[in-house]
């Protein structure tokens, strides 16, 4: 076996990945319904003509969530796009499967952050990888929330390798960046892709980026086999509820007025801009005849654009721009 | 001279194109202010570090227009993107200039359609072309409005060549199409690019499209010189006010309620999706460090997304989907 060849997945790899990602959707939806206490999820099951399908769940006009979308999908097919085959020639001639759970929550109260989660697994013959992450997008600047969110994700990662959190945190800052605004989407979290045990942690699109500079070999090939990486995404996925629910609990009863609501609607425009202009999953889904309504469930229910808006100096809105929309070391943020 | 080489532009080509496009912005803004009778345009002049600049004009919270944006820009530079050099090798080694006026109007009353206009001129050494068009996006189905808009544009085109309107109408239907929704953006109008007198009218991205199938040689090379094409875009540009103002006049006083307002906000989401996912001008501008606020002036001031919305059978909203969001022969629509 060549030094850089993949360790094989176990025979039941697809079933186990699918089963975990479905149960993650179930757990999250159940907890969000209890938390919301107002509305319930509606489920649409759908099939993809080329193979596979999914379960889209949407909760609308809840007490806490203006809209919550949690998707599970499992698709398979025969033809891989050339971009994947060029990079992973061993996938040639194999059918592929891709499964994932993704979620975007748009709370009503502007003091409660929007949050996104996505974990996924891909397999084509001997080629496989895990990807995903979670990131937080506050409208108002609470350092304690950013710290808590990062601390939970860092703890989940640290169960598996001490380098995971630092690299995935930088990778997240790199990915959720709106170049045309020179802003990050929010306070980030973790993001990773192509985790399959080959030595390098970072396998991203940005060779000059922060994550690439930090990244390095993590042990010998084979140290990070399928089981250890499956355990990693399980830890990360299960860390979501404890990372986010306490933030909702302490913010959702704060009073707010029209100013905060208008700022929230304005900032939601950045979510739309990111998802439609930069997000690879969204663009790939729209281009490959994915289920449009499920893909665009991430878009906020109500959004505002305002020409040439700038926050006023000394306001919380300005603090958001100056501190929270730039990469920070939230894990070690002083209280 | 090779049979398919360009006829040269006159020595004052840049000045004349710029001057016309500026005056088009002036005329449109002046007429819209009178029509609105409530708000006025604010102008921001800006410079581009790499060369050139523009005048962005926005009218907000008017009596008729919730937002009206009219941009003029004139940019120049030394480095052409490889995509242009590959197609037009004669531009190699020449500085380029690109100038244009673009406009998007978002009316308040849902019975008044949104409208977009853009006319532009590009020159790099011996290489030059005109492009542009105008298209109408109604929220409620009034065939008379679609017919009137098309009739004005067809008349403007027919002053120059009988084939212009039929080809540019199909090209417009082709361009303003949301593949992921399987919908046209609205009732279209005209769209064209790369008009420089080379024989073929259609020079688009869609070799199997309707416009390509219709398109054919228009006379001999040289029949359509710089002067004749400059005259064409002047006619088209000047046709805008008579094509749109009568529609506003007859719709803006119609009563509407929450149902119509909500549908308008929902349909505005398609405008956002088109501009951020498909519109070449928007994507090119964002990627090349254009002035973000001017580029995104096209986005509506308030927008709504709703998971899995479908219009009810027998409603005006359904009639919009079934008839007005599909290509139709609006010029010959029966009264």
Could you report the per-residue pLDDT of A231-273, keeping only the tens digit for each? Answer: 999 999 999 999 999 999 999 999 999 999 999 999 999 999 9
Asked if the Cβ–Cβ distance from A302 to B307 is below 8 Å, we say no
Min distance B38 CA to chain A CA atoms (Å): 18
Looking only at the bridges linking them, the beta strands covering B177-178 and B302-304 are unpaired
Using the predicted structure, report yes or no on whether residue A123 has a pLDDT greater than 60: yes
Encoded tokens for B191: 């769209």
Asked if the Cβ–Cβ distance from A180 to B286 is below 8 Å, we say yes
Asked if the Cβ–Cβ distance from A297 to B283 is below 8 Å, we say no
Asked if the Cβ–Cβ distance from B305 to A293 is below 8 Å, we say no
Cβ pairs bridging A and B (under 8 Å): 71
- Write the pLDDT tens digit of every residue in A54-97: 999 999 999 999 999 999 999 998 888 888 888 889 999 999 99
CA distance B92 to B203: 20
Q: Which residue among B265, B276, B300 places its CB closest to the CB of A277?
A: B276
The pLDDT value given to residue A3: 40
Is the CB of B310 inside 8 Å of chain A's CB atoms?
A: no
Asked if the Cβ–Cβ distance from B307 to A58 is below 8 Å, we say yes
Contacts of B181 in chain A (CB under 8 A): 292
Asked if the Cβ–Cβ distance from A283 to B292 is below 8 Å, we say no
CA distance A190 to B137: 41
Contacts of A104 in chain B (CB under 8 A): none
Q: Which of A106, A180, A266 to mutate to test the interface with B (most CBs of B within 10 A)?
A: A180
Is the CB of B61 inside 8 Å of chain A's CB atoms?
A: no
Task: Find the mean pLDDT for residues A10-39.
Answer: 97
CA distances from A162 to A146, A166, A203, A214, A215 (A): 20, 8, 18, 13, 12
Q: Which residue among B181, B301, B304 places its CB closest to the CB of A301?
A: B304
The model carries a pTM of 0.94
The percentage of chain A sitting over the pLDDT mark of 70, rounded to a whole number, equals: 96
For residue A314, give every residue at least 6 positions away whose Cβ sits within 8 Å of its Cβ, in sequence order, or none: none
Using the predicted structure, report yes or no on whether residue A163 has a pLDDT greater than 80: yes
Q: Which residue among A273, A300, A304 places its CB closest to the CB of B276?
A: A273
Task: Find the mean pLDDT for residues A22-37.
Answer: 98
H or E stretch covering B3:
none
Using the predicted structure, report yes or no on whether residue A220 has a pLDDT greater than 70: no
Asked if the Cβ–Cβ distance from A60 to B307 is below 8 Å, we say yes
For residue A66, give every residue at least 6 positions away whose Cβ sits within 8 Å of its Cβ, in sequence order, or none: A60, A106, A107, A108, A300, A301, A302
Encoded tokens for A119: 């974990």
Min distance B107 CA to chain A CA atoms (Å): 15
Calculate ∠ Cα B308-B309-B315, nearest 5°: 155
The pLDDT value given to residue B331: 98
Please list the pLDDT of chain B residue by residue as tens digits (335 residues): 334 578 889 999 999 999 999 999 999 999 999 999 999 999 999 998 888 999 999 999 999 999 999 999 999 988 888 888 888 899 999 999 999 999 999 999 999 999 999 999 999 999 999 999 999 999 999 999 999 999 999 999 999 999 899 999 999 999 999 999 999 999 999 999 999 988 678 877 676 777 777 666 666 555 789 999 999 999 999 999 999 999 999 999 999 999 999 999 999 999 999 999 999 889 888 887 789 999 999 999 999 999 999 999 999 999 999 999 999 999 999 87
Residue of B nearest to A303 (CA): B303
Asked if the Cβ–Cβ distance from B300 to A305 is below 8 Å, we say yes
Contacts of A286 in chain B (CB under 8 A): 179-180, 277
For residue B47, give every residue at least 6 positions away whose Cβ sits within 8 Å of its Cβ, in sequence order, or none: B53
The pLDDT value given to residue A219: 61
CA distance B310 to B251: 25
Looking only at the bridges linking them, the beta strands covering A177-178 and A114-124 are unpaired
**Identified catalytic residue from B116, B148, B160, B203:** B116
Asked if the Cβ–Cβ distance from B286 to A179 is below 8 Å, we say yes
Asked if the Cβ–Cβ distance from A303 to B303 is below 8 Å, we say yes
Q: How many CB atoms lie within 10 A of CB A47?
A: 11
Contacts of B276 in chain A (CB under 8 A): 272-273, 276-277
CA distance A28 to A242: 11
Is the CB of A298 inside 8 Å of chain B's CB atoms?
A: no
CA distance B262 to B304: 8
The pLDDT value given to residue A332: 96
Is the CB of B94 inside 8 Å of chain A's CB atoms?
A: no
Q: Which residues of chain A from 154 to 213 reach within 8 Å of chain B, CB to CB?
A: 179-181
Asked if the Cβ–Cβ distance from B307 to A292 is below 8 Å, we say no
Q: Which residues of chain B from 274 to 293 reach within 8 Å of chain A, CB to CB?
A: 276-277, 283, 286, 292-293
pLDDT band at A217 (very low <50, low <70, confident <90, very high): low
One DSSP character per residue, B32-52 reads HHHHH-S---EEEEEE-TTSE
pLDDT band at A2 (very low <50, low <70, confident <90, very high): very low
The pLDDT value given to residue B46: 95
Q: Which residue among A44, A304, A307 places its CB closest to the CB of B302?
A: A304
ipTM computed for the complex: 0.93
The pLDDT value given to residue A222: 59
CA distance B217 to B224: 11
The pLDDT value given to residue A193: 92
Min distance B161 CA to chain A CA atoms (Å): 37
CA distance B34 to B63: 11
Task: Find the mean pLDDT for residues A110-128.
Answer: 96
């Amino acid at each position: 076996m060549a030094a850089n060849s993949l360790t094989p997945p176990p025979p039941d790899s697809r079933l186990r990945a699918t089963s975990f990602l479905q149960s993650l959707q179930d757990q999250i939806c159940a907890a969000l319904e209890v938390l919301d206490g107002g509305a319930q999820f509606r489920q649409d099951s759908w099939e993809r003509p080329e193979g596979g399908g999914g379960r889209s769940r949407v909760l609308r006009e809840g007490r806490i969530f203006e809209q919550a979308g949690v998707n599970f999908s499992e698709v398979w097919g025969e033809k891989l796009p050339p971009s994947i085959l060029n990079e992973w020639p061993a996938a040639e001639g194999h059918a592929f499967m891709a499964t994932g759970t993704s979620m975007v929550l748009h709370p009503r109260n502007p003091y409660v952050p929007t949050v996104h989660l996505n974990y996924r697994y891909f397999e084509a013959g001997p080629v496989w990888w895990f990807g995903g992450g979670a990131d937080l997008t506050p409208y108002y600047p609470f350092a304690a929330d950013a710290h808590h969110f990062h601390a939970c994700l860092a703890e989940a990662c640290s169960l598996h390798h001490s380098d995971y959190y630092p690299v995935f945190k930088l990778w997240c800052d790199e990915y959720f960046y709106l170049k045309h605004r020179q802003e990050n989407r929010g306070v980030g979290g973790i993001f990773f892709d192509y985790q399959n045990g080959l030595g390098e942690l970072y396998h991203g699109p940005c060779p000059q980026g922060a994550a690439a500079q930090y990244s390095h070999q993590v042990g010998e090939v084979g140290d990070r086999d399928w089981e250890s990486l499956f355990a990693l995404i399980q830890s990360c996925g299960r860390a979501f509820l404890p990372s986010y629910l306490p933030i909702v609990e302490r913010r959702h009863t704060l009073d707010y007025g029209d100013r905060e609501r208008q700022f929230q609607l304005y900032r939601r425009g950045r979510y739309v801009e990111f998802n439609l202009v930069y997000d690879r999953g969204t663009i790939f889904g729209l281009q490959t005849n994915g289920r449009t309504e499920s893909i665009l469930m991430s878009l906020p229910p109500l959004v505002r654009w305002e020409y040439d808006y700038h926050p006023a100096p000394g306001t919380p809105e300005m603090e958001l721009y100056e501190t929270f929309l730039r990469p920070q070391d939230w894990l070690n943020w002083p209280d």
